[in-house]
Structure 1
């Protein structure tokens, strides 16, 4: 047993002797060739710091994330200058320049952003001229009117023929294209002008669908669309419009339309419904409100519907009863307030109450039906090409009143 253990320990001694001999040989080679290792390979704190620098320098630095250029970012640039000859408002159909607010709900912060527009924000609009001009009160500069008219005539050019109009209308049908702009409860907004010009890049005409409170006064919607875009409505069926851009329209020379970055707060206007109706006492006003809420409903308005026939319905109802009630259940309070305000001006009538989501209007003591019983029909004829050619030859735009005013008893021709 003892001899076996000794035999087992011999190879261990041999391996130790081999390792010592190799170490001794390596030291001889080092002394013989005088090899000096570079400082990067020699151990030490200084060499560690030297080793760290080249490694870090060889590492690629991360690139900043790519940010696509945005037209909203105007840091370091001059304010935008727009040559459009009209005041910039949030909505051109739901706000009237003739009605002056009695106060503001917030300071006069521009919705275009600080320093992005050369026009000053008055709390209601950004006037085309100096804010000292009474443009907010509805008095416009005649120079701006002439400039607006000249721009529109230069873009529209010669009126379309009946064949050209039918071709454009056919291209804008739902089965042909899906391009469409929707006008909702806010009506024709300022940023919607930019959307219309974006659609005009790809097609000569664009389809516009109008729904909501703005459709009570479709005549105003059509006038504002043509006035602010310098286009021409070539087809209308209820709330569906087709707006033509004009013969001489060039997308590369489109007008500069600065976008509103947020919706401005609505200013404070006078109350629509007073505590006592003019010409009545407090008791008579209370009785009228109770009686108005018990009157049979004339019609029920659907949410985001088309209300173009509401004004003639109220006018006809006033021939048989002095109070008219309209059911507005499901509508937003701001929506049926706008509808009531439009009825007051268009019918005309006196607002009684908005309680229980109802619109109650009174025709007044000395009611006389309007002499010009005109309203906008469901379909509008556009076949009167001779009148357009005559007006184009004379150098002025075709009269909008003759185009839009249609007699109630007249049946609209089928297109």
Structure 2
């Protein structure tokens, strides 16, 4: 220990114990006054010299679109010309929910981070968007159309599966936080590869529309479920829009019941007979979890030319996903879902053929 040499320099007569013992060490520490602590070698002050610099506290980096320091009096005012939603491609603004699973006052953007009010399904813009202004700004950023050689070069660079500029699009579709991911890739890459899987692949046109509309880019390549989104000739990462991030996924609201006890246009006995016929019929196709459903809509349309009821086997899809598939098919085919049971979807083509036949008879007469 550093204090032992100091004990040997003390006269042995001043110590009641042997200098090298532990009792002598304890006796010396209790005997010495506090004012002499500066002369004690283990507690001696540092030699004179340049004073150390005070450590700087690192400023906490706020996420884009957040108010500085979390001050609710200074919320961010994002200038994006559309209402903020969790998913843009998988929700319909025209359909109003009948209830909420969480209070609408809890905004998924956090308290005081944006100057918009959360309604439970969206955060509407304070001012009505100007479509002409948004279209003009988008055309300015895109610039002149790409030539065939430029498109071929970008496609060859980003279309492969080992591309490190890829975003996976799942059952949530085009989500709000995905827009921030796209702009982060556009900082160092002219295009981003988007791989689509699951329910959104039923309507790829809808996915492409919302990607272009919400990000401001342009789809330059589309092959089944693979997309390339180009940022534009005059894109400036320093002038990217402010995109406040959602801190959590909001609970989906409650909507009206999709399948009614009695299908519209049928009696109770006819609806029951249709359901039994659909359950006993062979499946039109078998769907897998997170699969590619690009051709399902066309298959159902072709089947309805000869069949009145169609069954889809969704045994490995999942309960939440196969109900979303039924909603999509109802609007895209269109058709009437009459049963969701044992992970099977039973679709009825409706009264379209009867109505078209009666219309044709009227025109002939």
TM-score, structure 2 normalization: 0.80
Deviation at 1:118, TM superposition (A): 1.0
2:126 maps to which residue? 129
The reply to whether residue 70 of structure 1 matches residue 61 of structure 2 is yes
The reply to whether residue 170 of structure 1 matches residue 125 of structure 2 is no
1:306 maps to which residue? 292
Q: Deviations over 1:244-288 (max 9, x none)?
A: 001111011100000000000111111111111112222222222
The residue correspondences of 1:181-200 to structure 2 (distance < 5 A) are: 181-200=167-186
Q: Deviations over 1:106-156 (max 9, x none)?
A: 1111001111111110100011126xxxxxxxxxx4x43223212211111
Aligned length: 319
Q: What is the rounded CA distance, in whole Å, between the counterparts of 1:198 and 1:209 in structure 2?
A: 17
Which segment is superposed worse, 346-355 or 151-160? Answer: 151-160
1:120 maps to which residue? 117
Of 80, 83, 89, which aligns to 1:84?
A: 80
2:257 maps to which residue? 271
Deviation at 1:368, TM superposition (A): 7.4
Q: What is the rounded CA distance, in whole Å, between the counterparts of 1:249 and 1:90 in structure 2?
A: 25
Q: What is the rounded CA distance, in whole Å, between the counterparts of 2:162 and 2:291 in structure 1?
A: 24
TM-score, structure 1 normalization: 0.71
Q: Deviations over 1:345-364 (max 9, x none)?
A: 01100011110101110001
Q: Secondary structure at the match of 1:267?
A: coil
Of 236, 244, 248, which aligns to 1:250?
A: 236
Structure 2 vs 1, CA of residues 364 and 57 (structure 1 numbering), >3 Å: closer, same or farther? farther
Q: What is the rounded CA distance, in whole Å, between the counterparts of 2:70 and 2:59 in structure 1?
A: 17
Structure 2 vs 1, CA of residues 128 and 56 (structure 1 numbering), >3 Å: closer, same or farther? farther
Unmatched segments (≥5 aa) in structure 1: 1-21, 25-40, 131-140, 371-415
Q: Deviations over 1:364-396 (max 9, x none)?
A: 1233799xxxxxxxxxxxxxxxxxxxxxxxxxx
Q: What is the rounded CA distance, in whole Å, between the counterparts of 2:99 and 2:344 in structure 1?
A: 27
Judge conservation of contact 1:86–1:144 (CA < 8 Å) in 2. Answer: no
1:350 maps to which residue? 336
Structure 2 vs 1, CA of residues 53 and 360 (structure 1 numbering), >3 Å: closer, same or farther? farther
Q: Secondary structure at the match of 1:75?
A: helix
Which segment is superposed worse, 148-157 or 189-198? Answer: 148-157
Deviation at 1:70, TM superposition (A): 3.2
1:149 maps to which residue? 135
Structure 2 vs 1, CA of residues 103 and 52 (structure 1 numbering), >3 Å: closer, same or farther? farther
Q: Deviations over 1:310-337 (max 9, x none)?
A: 1111000001100011100111211111
Deviation at 1:58, TM superposition (A): 5.5
2:5 maps to which residue? none
Judge conservation of contact 1:207–1:243 (CA < 8 Å) in 2. Answer: yes
Of 357, 362, 369, which aligns to 2:348?
A: 362
Judge conservation of contact 1:315–1:369 (CA < 8 Å) in 2. Answer: no
Which segment is superposed worse, 282-291 or 113-122? Answer: 282-291
Deviation at 1:65, TM superposition (A): 12
1:104 maps to which residue? 100
Judge conservation of contact 1:209–1:241 (CA < 8 Å) in 2. Answer: yes
Q: Secondary structure at the match of 1:344?
A: helix
Q: What is the rounded CA distance, in whole Å, between the counterparts of 2:218 and 2:163 in structure 1?
A: 20
Unmatched segments (≥5 aa) in structure 2: 1-11, 15-26, 47-53, 357-365
